[in-house]
Structure 1
């Protein structure tokens, strides 16, 4: 009876860890609330305007390299063009895809109970970070992120050695009650080992490529490395692995062609034409570069508070065997750090208006250093104490100081044969599989951001989810005999709690910044300066500034008076696709004729001349002489003159601050 009670207690300890779960849930709730506070506020009329144009009608533009409009158009149609609903759906998909990666990590590590939910909560919340200080409407970036999450989930399920498998560490001993094969665990093992993992690798790569082809290419390269290593370590398993990866990719390609409505030849031509236009623009071809590091967020007080708490926690871990009292002390330190960061944001000590605040997430990959120092084998360490046994030490000890059950000599003797069998079946090359998986997850943020013209360092920090999973898996790598499993579990909980705090730092920083729009905090400070307005032809409503609301009403009146639905509109401001969308018009040449690039005029002419030649003569025009992005010379190059061929219908103020004129062609011009 006593041995059975000891076994139950051991399992409960492995399922324990309420405090990292509580901290993770606080961070998750904070991140979700921060997103919800922004989801109904404002509308960027540049990038976000282009996203909405392509989501409403992906066929409007061939002079791009974006297929995301075709993929996400069903979502747009499902919500009836409601921008707010579209943003909420994007949030839910981000939570689900990132949560799937968290689930894959917990399955690979054999986590249950509070520990598992803590990991999944942090992972899901990190899935919202790509839209921190960025447009909230789903776009090519978010689709690429979702695809990368699916790809990483499949890679972890397919390649990471799970608990109790033959190539686990020789000194791990037999499976305990947590990792014993039940119905759920058998289903997960079958899915991981045969179909689901490799299929997700292929499917996720295609989804990511449909968002950004550069991301798809980078993930394909990482997949190829994983295939090569798998071929070296296990030739018998590589063919099924490659087959299911290819199968997942085929399913993704078939679905993509169904959404696009064309075959592979059309898709190749689409990318070729778009790449030619991008090359003319001369602004997105520098794929390999080193951008300034976001030191502001990296060294901000909230981030440092979390890091100090993590270091103190590791110091407590290295002082001796893990106990309940030590776990409570670590919980108190971490909770204090989260409180410090919230107070720092509330009192203005943290610069929430700075985009680089997301740089706090660069601390997450650095957590690998203390993880390795804490979990590695120490000189003179003897028998591994990670084996769960049914015999406990009889040394008197208070309840608060009760350590994890120790291993008895009889238990060690009874499992020695199993240990030797494990050792004989674990080839040295299996370390290479672990190393490649960790390397792929570490490079996944770079694969996600490659090709963007934004700051690479900041964009990678927004994708810190993959770093978190990599560090978490690192706690499951056995280094020789290792330390006690109880200490390893506490290390994992510290990683989870610290990552939760850093994700919360980045989430809260988004409240003080909006992409090319006043931050939501300005609406809180002066609610009278805001108003709910219709911002799309479908009648979508958002809370915007009063000036923006007046512009929206004006453009809605012009649309009703002149019936502009489907009317071609040529945007020479270089920054107004959102107003083309508001008017219900059809963009000429491209969803966004980008200004302020060295080749803006050449790219715009290429796009316009590649469109229907009859559109220019009957197109309305958006012009802004004061716009820094104005495409000078576009109208003269097309044989048109503002003074001779157009008349002003309306003038309004752009959200970026300058005056825009809406011009219509003069009859007979």
Structure 2
């Protein structure tokens, strides 16, 4: 579930050609470097020291770029280290519990609204159902995806920035910035990977493939077959995990992909499309043969999604929610950071002696905004701070966008790379900017709650702007570089703080110090001493009913983690919604479509933190169970964590 807690380097740019009448670099009408001198220059600058490459990069530029690599790399190392140190601490029994329980029984329990279990379930099984191991796999996937996206973006940007320093440090600095901002994936989501990870990481990988296609198209005039074929696994994974938002994301990516290869002609467009489709078909066949029969899994997912849709908000209601909450965010940004927005404009507009005033305004504005971020607590991560930390990060992105708009409007900056960008480049940049938003579509929370997790894509846009301001005033370039650096720092701090001090519905790292004895499913996971003792006590109470593992357990109102703790197996969906009891009941009835369940003579254990209702009683009856005569209360709720635990009356010894 993607619910909040409230449910809640800049290196010195190479100098432009001298003289006020210096012409911009020649470009084709699609914005890519023209064939001939400019195109050759772009290819020559791919690697420092290549034959025919420009003169050596000045030492100050190299030092600046190396400094940027080290600084951004340190920021990335900060949140990566925190992830590793917290991997074995804390557990949310609701959303994260649902993820883990569905992965544990991915082979047999197919009542699910998301196919994420067919992606992460085999991985969970491969690591021996070790939660810490699964979380570390998530870390590897997040780091790997952002490295791939960052490298693809910077190689594509290199073609469009022929005056960029001819050294690998330029690309490395950009990749480090993007990786550092990738920590925002950890700003508030559950500690274990879920369908939101697949949606976001898949979107970044899909855009990375488009960027590689565009780079090949510009440099060689042909896209290797393997590049579009990579769309297959990405597309299938995204649609399995979160089909609604992924369909929107893939539509945006498809338009960008078309723009990437359009100059090559329709024959190449069709060829690329065919390879993408071939990759998709091959992926589907592999999943069908090696993982799960999609002919069985997909119909089950569709049926469950129909139940979900019956109680979900309408598209119109969601759009109103997104518009209202986004406008609220904009108002907070303007109220607290108006001066820095003004500074972004005057930094471009004011020149000559007036530029001194622009510099003063920028310095004051940056100081005020930094003070507001600190005072308002906009550097704390976690669900408890979801209304605050997106403000500071959104301000950094907005400031850089304002600088870009001012440069595009100001004709005096016509030599800047931004002004000579063509429709292809803008289409691809638009896709990069949009995917954090499209992957968030469908959430019942404010849209920016989910979009901010994809801040690395917006950091890439900031890099494209920063590197395209060659003829903009120095103040504008310094302001943009400073704000971009601030975004890197803020991303790392928010991610690290969110994991260490405010993990998703779990105790802070310093408080989670005790393991749960006798709970194999939670082996290696540390909770607070009280939680560990309470969970151990519950297991002891139910011990006679839990051997052998895999007992049917119905834990109502979002307590999937309790089922996992007890080595149980869910009846119906693994997710028992607290706000849609009819949906849960429908899942139970479907499990008992023949009047009896899969459990044979070991009837389910029923767990609630409230009195049972007629909805649950009727669902049990559909399985041939009479709650009044077939169940008894195991112990007073005060002895079972305040939970009402009902066990079958005929299971005297728990068998």
Query: Shorter-chain TM-score category?
Result: 0.7 to 0.9
1:497 corresponds, among 476, 485, 503, to 485
Aligned-pair CA distance for 1:72: 1.7
1:375–1:488 Cα contact (<8 Å) kept? no
Distance 1:85 1:221, change over 3 A: same
TM-score normalised according to structure 2 size: 0.74
Q: How does 1:111-190 map to 2 (within 5 A)?
A: 112-159=167-214, 165=218
Aligned-pair CA distance for 1:500: 0.8
2:97–2:559 Cα contact (<8 Å) kept? yes
Partner residue of 1:603?
A: 586
For the residues of structure 2 that align with 1:432 and 1:319, how far apart are their CA atoms?
29
Partner residue of 1:247?
A: 278
Q: How does 1:321-336 map to 2 (within 5 A)?
A: none
User: What is the aligned length?
Assistant: 582
Partner residue of 1:283?
A: 312
1:45–1:576 Cα contact (<8 Å) kept? yes
Partner residue of 2:604?
A: 620
For the residues of structure 2 that align with 1:239 and 1:348, how far apart are their CA atoms?
47
Aligned-pair CA distance for 1:333: 9.7
For the residues of structure 2 that align with 1:290 and 1:377, how far apart are their CA atoms?
32
For the residues of structure 1 that align with 2:567 and 2:591, how far apart are their CA atoms?
19
Aligned-pair CA distance for 1:58: 0.3
Specify the SS of the correspondent of 1:571: strand
Specify the SS of the correspondent of 2:224: helix
Distance 1:319 1:622, change over 3 A: same
Partner residue of 1:574?
A: 557
TM-score normalised according to structure 1 size: 0.72
1:364–1:464 Cα contact (<8 Å) kept? no
Provide Cα deviations, 1:562-600, integer angstroms capped at 9, x if missing partner: 443444424152222111111112211222232322633
Note if 1:265 corresponds to 2:313.
no
Gaps of 5+ in 1: 166-188, 322-327, 387-425
2:504 corresponds, among 495, 508, 515, to 515
Q: How does 1:284-363 map to 2 (within 5 A)?
A: 286=315, 288-291=318-321, 293=325, 353-360=384-391, 361-363=393-395
2:77 corresponds, among 29, 35, 40, to 29
For the residues of structure 1 that align with 2:299 and 2:363, how far apart are their CA atoms?
59
2:589–2:622 Cα contact (<8 Å) kept? no
Distance 1:206 1:477, change over 3 A: farther
Note if 1:372 corresponds to 2:404.
yes
2:213–2:227 Cα contact (<8 Å) kept? yes
Distance 1:201 1:331, change over 3 A: farther
Aligned-pair CA distance for 1:458: 0.6
1:95–1:127 Cα contact (<8 Å) kept? yes
Partner residue of 2:515?
A: 532
For the residues of structure 1 that align with 2:479 and 2:227, how far apart are their CA atoms?
27
Aligned-pair CA distance for 1:661: 1.4
For the residues of structure 2 that align with 1:205 and 1:154, how far apart are their CA atoms?
11
Aligned-pair CA distance for 1:471: 3.6
Q: How does 1:78-97 map to 2 (within 5 A)?
A: 78-97=126-145
For the residues of structure 1 that align with 2:292 and 2:378, how far apart are their CA atoms?
53
For the residues of structure 1 that align with 2:329 and 2:87, how far apart are their CA atoms?
23
For the residues of structure 1 that align with 2:381 and 2:118, how far apart are their CA atoms?
40
For the residues of structure 1 that align with 2:412 and 2:493, how far apart are their CA atoms?
40
Partner residue of 1:591?
A: 574
For the residues of structure 1 that align with 2:271 and 2:474, how far apart are their CA atoms?
37
Specify the SS of the correspondent of 1:353: helix
Distance 1:385 1:313, change over 3 A: closer
Distance 1:142 1:533, change over 3 A: same
1:206–1:252 Cα contact (<8 Å) kept? yes
Gaps of 5+ in 2: 1-48, 159-163, 353-358
Specify the SS of the correspondent of 1:596: coil
1:80–1:538 Cα contact (<8 Å) kept? no
1:317–1:487 Cα contact (<8 Å) kept? yes
Partner residue of 1:647?
A: 632
Partner residue of 2:447?
A: 456
Distance 1:469 1:191, change over 3 A: farther
Partner residue of 2:426?
A: 435
For the residues of structure 2 that align with 1:373 and 1:60, how far apart are their CA atoms?
54
Aligned-pair CA distance for 1:144: 2.0
Specify the SS of the correspondent of 1:293: helix
Distance 1:55 1:605, change over 3 A: closer
For the residues of structure 1 that align with 2:228 and 2:63, how far apart are their CA atoms?
29
Distance 1:147 1:485, change over 3 A: farther
1:559–1:584 Cα contact (<8 Å) kept? no
Aligned-pair CA distance for 1:106: 1.2
2:216–2:223 Cα contact (<8 Å) kept? no
For the residues of structure 1 that align with 2:439 and 2:565, how far apart are their CA atoms?
31
Partner residue of 1:214?
A: 244
Partner residue of 1:168?
A: none
1:141–1:212 Cα contact (<8 Å) kept? yes
Q: Which moved more, 1:533-542 or 1:212-221?
A: 533-542
For the residues of structure 2 that align with 1:630 and 1:465, how far apart are their CA atoms?
48
Distance 1:19 1:227, change over 3 A: closer
Note if 1:238 corresponds to 2:227.
no
For the residues of structure 2 that align with 1:128 and 1:627, how far apart are their CA atoms?
42
Aligned-pair CA distance for 1:94: 0.7
Provide Cα deviations, 1:226-280, integer angstroms capped at 9, x if missing partner: 3554676542431232133223323432343344332x53344233322233245
Note if 1:659 corresponds to 2:643.
yes
Aligned-pair CA distance for 1:138: 1.1
For the residues of structure 1 that align with 2:298 and 2:275, how far apart are their CA atoms?
24
Aligned-pair Cα RMSD in Å: 4.7
Aligned-pair CA distance for 1:7: 2.8
2:605–2:647 Cα contact (<8 Å) kept? yes
Specify the SS of the correspondent of 2:256: helix
Q: How does 1:183-198 map to 2 (within 5 A)?
A: 193-195=223-225, 197-198=227-228
Aligned-pair CA distance for 1:136: 0.7
